Chain A
Amino acid sequence: MAKKYIDVAAHFDTNGQIIPIIFWWDNGKCYRIDRVTEIRRAASLKAGGTGIRYTCRILGKNRYLYYDDYARKWFVEINENF
């Protein structure tokens, strides 16, 4: 497992809450996040680091998106040979 930084478009609401809407993959393809079901701080032992972890519903599957609020970057955990 490794860490992969991704481009994200997010909604910043008036309470200061940040909700990701779309993210982009290397191949230029973009994916829509249908729903965020949980937001909490969590460590990612697989990718290495900590951040605000969003449990996202994407194409019918659950996927974690992390916002590293210290480096101010978004990342996901991927398989090394992905």
Chain B
Amino acid sequence: MERTILHCDCNNFYASVECLYHPELRGIPVAVAGDSQLRHGIVLAKNYEAKKCGVKTGNPLWLARQLCPNIVFVRPHFDLYMNFSKMCREIYSQYSDRVEPYGLDECWIDVTGSTWLFGSGAAIANSIREKIKSELGITISVGVSFNKVFSKLGSDYKKPDATTIIPFNDFRKIVWPLPVSSLLFVGRATASLLERKCIDTIGKLAQTDRRYVKDWLGKCGETLWLYANGYDTSPVAAIGEQPVIKSIGNSTTMPRDLINYDEMKITLMVLSESVAARLRQHNLQCETVQISIRGTDLSWIERQEKLAAPCCDSTTIYLKAYELLKKHHQNGKPVRSLGVRACNLSLRRFDQMSFIPSVQKSRSHEAVEEVLDNLRSRFGNKIVQRGIMLTDAALSALDPQTNYHNLVLSTVHSQ
């Protein structure tokens, strides 16, 4: 049976939310700037007025200012964006139980079963668009097609506040002339390789012999070939099947360079506690722990390892982080900054009971830490502390809980 799949993409998401809250900024070029220290900051998002001047996401602020002298920089409000992301998903879920987020501002919705209730894919798309606009005050672009890849192409086709339909019997006419780089998962490297083979449109990729594409690009190439021909059959995940956030991490540059393991332990503990608290806050657990180490010589490494079972308690995360540090860092070599990141996230409620002792242990740690979360939210972070924190006031004073930056930036990077 032919499916009906929508891809909804919020237009200039961060910038639109900022302009909604600041009516005085509408109509003038605005960029959301990644760093409050304007010297080092980059453009995280921009509105159409800024885009018209050639400002691009990732531009350093000085360049944005050069391109567009009357540009206004505003600070990001990640909590607010996450709330808008949630409200969007709530609206989408009024139309189907299959809503799969892709980053903060994009979602696929499978409405195949809902067309009997709400009308055609296009009708649903328009109704969602109107609802988002009147209830949330921002706009979205929607692509309607019979698979996920083409619906995503559709939402990119016409912006802002538009619906694009790519029907099964007509997709070649719309999709095939598009540049091959607009196809999902075709990165810069892949696109330039294909261009060297004189394949610059999706149509040319589709009409190339499948075996050649596989030879050039491996399994990945075969997938792209299938996409180009409209054979993408991947399902839209049901609500709650996968978390929106891909990883949660914190890193910090210490008040002084650290030489020995005892000092690094304190920092790792501070970071692990913050990461674990944020996992619990979002009802997530992690299966992999990653650390990053920057030396005073600006060398930088990142190492990760899987846990015995998914967890969200700081002790388990800390022990793994410390194990990684000892394994990959030579004691005595000074360290400038450390990072701890929880990856491979899943929702906690899909958890199974376990009889493995180490897993049972982390469950009981989690129970204790939930009590701590509660105490800290009521009386402040310092109300209960680990003994290790008392050994060095300067290092334990670091309060990474407020650092949302990494969290959202990593979400952006995962798109």
One digit per residue, 1 when the CB lies within 8 angstroms of any chain A CB and 0 when it does not, for chain B 73-94 equals: 0000000100100010000000
Chain A min CB distance to B123 (Å): 21
Q: Does A40 have its Cβ within 8 Å of any Cβ on chain B? A: yes
Interface residues on chain A, size class: 10 to 19
Identify which of B15-23, B174-182, B259-267, B331-339 touches chain A. B15-23
- Determine the distance from Cα of A48 to Cα of B22 in the docked complex, in whole angstroms: 6
A37 to B135, CA, bound (A): 18
**CB of A78 within 8 Å of the partner chain:** no
| B-contact 0/1 string along A41-57, CB 8 Å cutoff | 11111111110000000
B134 touches A43 (CB 8 A): yes
CB distance from B14 to the nearest CB of A (A): 15
Most buried by A among B80, B83, B134: B134
Q: Judge whether A49 and B135 touch: CB under 8 Å.
A: no
- Chain B 1-29 per-residue mask, 1 if CB under 8 angstroms from chain A, else 0: 00000000000000000001111000000
Contact A50 B23 (CB under 8 A): no
A72 to B83 CA separation, bound complex (whole angstroms): 13
Contact A43 B135, beta carbon cutoff 8 Å: yes
Contact flag A70-B136 (CB < 8 Å), given A45-B20, A48-B22: no
Q: Is the CB of A48 within 8 A of B135?
A: no
A46 partner residues in chain B, CB cutoff 8 A: 23
Q: Would you call B69 an interface residue if the criterion is a C-beta within 8 Å of the partner chain's C-beta atoms?
A: no
Cα separation A49 to B135 with both chains bound (whole Å): 10
Question: Which A residues lie within 8 Å of B113 (CB)?
Answer: none
A63: min CB distance to chain B, Å: 19
**Interfacial chain A residues near B87, Cβ < 8 Å:** 41, 50
In the assembled complex, the CB of B13 is this many whole angstroms from the nearest CB of chain A, namely: 14
Contact of B135 among A1, A42, A70 (CB under 8 A): A42
Minimal beta-carbon separation of A34 from chain B (angstroms): 26
Is B137 an interface residue when CB atoms closer than 8 A count as contact?
yes
Q: Is the CB–CB distance between B135 and A40 below 8 Å?
A: yes
- B25 to chain A: closest residue by CB: A48
Give the chain B neighbours of A42 by CB distance below 8 A: 134-135
Q: Are A45 and B135 in contact (CB under 8 A)?
A: no
- Enumerate chain B residues within 8 angstroms of A40, measured Cβ to Cβ: 135
A49 to B, closest residue via Cβ: B21
Task: Identify B137's interface contact among A1, A2, A43, A70, CB under 8 A.
Answer: A43
Residue ID in chain B nearest A71 by CB atoms: B80
In the bound complex, residues from chain A placing their C-beta under 8 Å from that of B23 are: 1-2, 45-48
- CB B78 to nearest CB in A, in angstroms, measures 13
CB of B105 to closest CB in A, whole Å: 16
Pairwise interchain contact B83-A49, C-beta atoms closer than 8 A = no
Query: Bound complex: CA of A49 vs CA of B80, how far in Å?
Result: 11
Enumerate 11 A-B pairs (CB-CB under 8 Å) in ascending A order.
Answer: A2-B23, A42-B135, A43-B20, A43-B136, A44-B137, A45-B23, A45-B137, A48-B23, A50-B136, A50-B137, A70-B83
